[in-house]
């Protein structure tokens, strides 16, 4: 999964990369670091989107790239999401590796036709002749008191589409490693960044260009009594909930799904076979969310191990309220604890 091999191809001058010194960084810094690393390693990687070049992105994810790699590889596009997705498909078919930014997930819907009907199908439609190694990055999720449409988590829409990967990091380390792998991946990846935790925690990262696998869930905490499954920003509340449960004598296993499509169902099933109980936590609206799929798949495969119904802690089936009531929408660690206790109480 490393990108070392590719460095040999590099046909432009680049600074030697120090892979030995640890950097203590936030998730947004880790993303920026991964983008630098990927562009350094492969001259085919290009970055495009609204305000990504001169401004370095409204969240600063792409800061420094234009100065380092020039305007030919780091492009401010006109204000047009359909275009951003569509030209990425065209660029990718020409063997570039576009990493496109959609400024907020709430503005991603205009890209759907190109993602569903083209990015996801180009390889299949041409029986491997044309491929689409593009990444569509978008900050997603609520909790930052932003205006309307700036807090969406509609990852389920993309998870349903065959032919794309949908990847969501939940820590600086995973953001760095998963983004590198997403860019290196020969197929299209929707890379959703939980913006609420962009700057929440720092981790020590080595800028070694080593990616993390996209075909696995990440077990963050081992446990015996119950499995807590989550992804994105809610992983943090989930870990807090596991702490609280621990104080109550409950040993909870915590799994970060990370890649919600295709799904590493084996890891999830194995965990529930061990614990017999499960709560799935998603920030998104409940109906037809990704938690439903995970729930359905687990009950299919671990039915006889289940000692209680699988519970879902989800957002409401409403839009994210304007900021004065955002807090009502977001679930807290206590909500997860409550659901877990409830599940544990089932005889």
Partner 1 sequence: MQYTKTPYQQKQMIDANGAVVGSLPESVSDELLLKSYRTMVMIRTFDQRVVALQRTGQMGTYASCLGQEAIGTGIGLALKKDDVFLPYYRDQATQYLRDIPLHQQMQYWGGNEWANHFSGIAQQDFPNCVPIATQVTHAAGVASAMKIRGEKRCSLVTCGEGATSRGDFYEAMNLVGVWQLPMVMVVNNNQWAISVPRNIQTGAETIAQKAVAAGIEGFQVDGNDVCAVYDAVRYAVNKAHSGKGGTLIEAVSYRLGDHTTADDATRYRSHEEVNEAWKREPIKRLQTYLHASDLWDEDQEQALQEHCKQEVEQAVKTYLSQPAQPVADLFDYLFEETPAHLALQKQRALEKMARLGGK
Write out the H or E segment, with its range, that includes residue 220: strand 218-221
230 touching ligand TPP, by CB under 6 A:
no
Q: Which option in its own copies, partner 1, ligand TPP, none does residue 291 bind, with CB closer than 5 to 8 A by kind? A: its own copies
Q: How far is the CB of 298 from its own copies (least distance, A)?
A: 9
Residues of this chain, 120-149, that bind its own copies according to CB under 8 A: 120-121, 124-125, 148-149
Residues of this chain, 74-133, that bind ligand TPP according to CB under 6 A: 79, 81, 103, 107
Q: How many CB atoms lie within 10 A of CB 317?
A: 11
23 in active site: no
Active-site residue, selected from the candidate residues 36, 114, 118, 150: 150
Q: Which option in ligand TPP, its own copies, partner 1, none does residue 13 bind, with CB closer than 5 to 8 A by kind? A: none
Residue 60's region, left for phi above 0, alpha for psi from -120 to 50, else beta, is left
Q: Which option in its own copies, ligand TPP, partner 1, none does residue 86 bind, with CB closer than 5 to 8 A by kind? A: partner 1
How far apart (Å, rounded) are the C-alpha atoms in residues 191 and 209?
A: 18
On whether the CB atoms of residues 174 and 230 are closer than 8 A, the answer is no
Residues of this chain, 25-54, that bind ligand TPP according to CB under 6 A: 50
How far apart (Å, rounded) are the C-alpha atoms in residues 38 and 58?
A: 20
Q: How many CB atoms lie within 10 A of CB 141?
A: 27
Q: Which residue is nearest to ligand TPP (CB)?
A: 107
Bridge partners, residue 256, by sequence: 218, 230
Q: How far is the CB of 318 from its own copies (least distance, A)?
A: 5
Residue 262 vs residues 17, 34, 71, 167, 228: alpha-carbon distances, Å:
33, 23, 34, 9, 19
Q: Which residue, 60, 28, 327, is CA-closest to 193?
A: 28
Which residues are identified as catalytic?
A: 150
Binding residues vs its own copies (CB under 8 A):
82, 106-107, 109-110, 112-113, 116-117, 120-121, 124-125, 148-149, 154, 156-157, 159-163, 261-263, 284-285, 287-293, 295-297, 299-301, 303, 306, 308-312, 316-319, 346
Binding residues vs ligand TPP (CB under 6 A):
50, 79, 81, 103, 107
């Amino acid at each position: 999964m490393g990108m070392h091999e590719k460095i040999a191809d590099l046909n432009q001058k680049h600074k030697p990369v120090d892979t030995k010194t640890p950097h203590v960084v936030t998730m947004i810094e880790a993303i920026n670091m991964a983008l630098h690393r990927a562009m350094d390693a492969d001259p085919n990687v290009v970055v495009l989107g609204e305000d990504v070049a001169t401004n370095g992105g409204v969240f600063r994810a792409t800061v420094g790239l234009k100065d380092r790699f020039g305007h030919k590889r780091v492009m401010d596009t006109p204000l047009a999401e359909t275009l951003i997705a569509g030209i990425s498909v065209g660029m990718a078919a020409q063997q570039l590796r576009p990493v496109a930014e959609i400024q907020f997930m709430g503005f991603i819907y205009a890209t759907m036709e190109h993602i569903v009907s083209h990015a996801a199908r180009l390889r299949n439609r041409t029986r491997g002749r044309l491929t689409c190694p593009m990444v569509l990055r978008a900050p997603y999720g609520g909790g930052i008191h932003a205006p309307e449409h700036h807090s969406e988590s509609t990852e389920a829409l993309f998870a349903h589409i065959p032919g794309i990967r949908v990847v969501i990091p939940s820590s600086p380390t995973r953001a760095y490693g998963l983004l590198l792998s997403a860019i290196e991946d020969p197929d299209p990846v929707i890379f959703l960044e939980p913006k609420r935790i962009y700057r929440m925690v720092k981790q020590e990262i080595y800028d070694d260009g080593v990616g993390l696998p996209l075909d696995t869930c990440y077990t963050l905490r081992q446990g015996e009594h119950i499995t807590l499954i989550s992804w994105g920003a809610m992983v943090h509340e989930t870990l807090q909930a596991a702490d609280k449960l621990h104080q109550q004598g409950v040993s909870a296993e915590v799994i970060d799904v990370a890649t919600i499509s295709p799904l590493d169902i084996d890891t999830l099933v194995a965990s529930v076979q061990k614990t017999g109980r499960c709560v799935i936590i998603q920030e998104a609206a409940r109906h037809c969310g990704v938690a439903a799929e995970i729930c359905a798949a687990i009950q299919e495969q671990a039915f006889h191990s289940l000692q209680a119904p699988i519970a879902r802690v989800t957002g409401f089936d409403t839009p994210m309220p304007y900021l004065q009531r955002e807090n009502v929408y977001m679930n807290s660690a206590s909500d997860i604890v409550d659901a877990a206790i409830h599940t544990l109480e089932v005889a």
